[in-house]
Amino acid sequence: MWAAQFYPFKRSRQWITSGGLGAMGYGVPAAIGAQLVLGDQLVVAVVGDGGFQMTNQELATAVQYDLPIKVLIMNNGYLGMVRQWQEMFYERAYSEVDLSVSPDFVKLAEAYGAFGIRATRPDELAEVLSAGLSHKGVAVMDIVVSEEENVYPMVPAGAGLHEMVLK
């Protein structure tokens, strides 16, 4: 959602998404498929730490078949969209959304024979992106972001588009 709303796409066929139903785990396998077709072009999967953990084992496929996808994890330590709803509509009664115990994604990448790198502060971001995106093989960039940042605009359950919450 962050990428769809904020990345400055410049041309058509630059973005693929699981769309409205938003199946988690789609990003990495979809990037592998795109890389297979696009050859040398840069392919980046922008994923949440929750979604990444649904299909991260496909890093093996990417490494095995030399498909040099770049995975950018926006790591907020939560199932963020669900947390946002619990914050806004259930008085912050957080339930089953805390991902504070997750694998070290840099080590996980390395365990698969990929390159892993992490940014924990904004001033590290440019260098980490540069290193990750320019790496020749499969790369995982673990970008640690603030835990309770919300995505807007959003449409509450059961509401119409005219009832969209802007912030």
Tokens 């994604």 identify what position? 105
Q: Which one of 59-67, 75-83, 85-93, 154-162 is the stretch in contact with ligand TPP (CB under 6 A)? A: 75-83
Decide if residue 73 touches ligand TPP (CB under 6 A): no
Give CA–CA dist 19/153, Å, rounded. Answer: 16
Decide if residue 28 touches ligand TPP (CB under 6 A): no
Instruction: Decide whether 136 or 167 has the Cβ nearer to ligand TPP.
Output: 167
Decide if residue 82 touches ligand TPP (CB under 6 A): yes
Give CA–CA dist 61/63, Å, rounded. Answer: 6
Q: Helix or strand or coil: residue 159?
A: coil
DSSP code string of 22-55 = --TT-HHHHHHHHHHHHTTS--EEEEEHHHHHHH
Decide if residue 145 touches ligand TPP (CB under 6 A): no
Instruction: Decide whether 74 or 114 has the Cβ nearer to ligand TPP.
Output: 74
Residues that bind ligand TPP (CB under 6 A): 22-25, 48-51, 74, 76, 78-82
